[in-house]
Amino acid sequence: MGTAKGERRRQELVTAAAELLRSGGFEAVRHRAVAERAGLPLASTTYYFASLEDLVTAAIERTGRDELAEGRAQLDALPAGAVGPDERVDLVLDLLLGPESRDGGLDAVLLRYERLVGSGRRPYLTPLMRELRGELDALLAEILERSGRPLDAVALRDMVSLVDGAVISALIEADPDPRAAACEVLLRSLRPGT
């Protein structure tokens, strides 16, 4: 078991790696950059993490759990009872694209999708990404249940796939607005009777 100081240093490195991941993608997470961001000696990254893969995994987990916690906090901050249609759309899109996307945060959306695609190129992340996806699906299902529009697991995955496709398609537009494109497809997919 590590010391309190050791655990604090490890968490500082994880926080730094997660910040770099969110702001610069996988390529930004390097031993030297993480140590500098954390204000710790370079050797601390290899002392607390057996490999760069372990450090990247910790950054992905921290980032994913932080995003889920943000979504949970948004849902919990709403008054008890049903979630209205506008809140439903905002909560779902904040979880899938990030709250930064509300104000045209294109870079944040790009980094989020690059992280998803990049995780597919890193098989060591597959178990963690599946776990995080299960937690994301559960939170999305809860949002939709509270909004009076429950979806089964297959329909939920279809909805996320439609949003993802709309986002990717919007990225090639002359003036990309992935949140607006995702909002349109989300509203159509959640229309009563569909």
Q: What is the pLDDT along the chain (194 residues), one digit of tens a residue?
A: 468 888 999 999 999 999 999 999 999 999 999 999 999 999 999 999 999 999 999 999 999 999 999 999 998 888 877 777 788 899 999 999 999 888 877 888 999 999 999 999 999 999 999 999 999 999 999 999 988 889 999 999 999 999 999 999 998 887 788 999 999 999 888 876 55
Model-level pTM? 0.89
* pLDDT computed for residue 5 by the predictor: 85
* pLDDT computed for residue 1 by the predictor: 47
CATH number for the segment(s) 1-49:
1.10.10.60
Structure tokens at 47: 């002392």
| Cα 147 to Cα 150, 162, 194, distances in angstroms | 8, 19, 15
* pLDDT computed for residue 171 by the predictor: 87
Which own/partner contact pairs does 122-128 have at CB distance under 8 Å and 24+ positions apart? 122/26, 122/53, 122/56, 124/53, 124/57, 125/56, 125/57, 125/60, 128/57, 128/60, 128/61, 128/64
* pLDDT computed for residue 122 by the predictor: 96
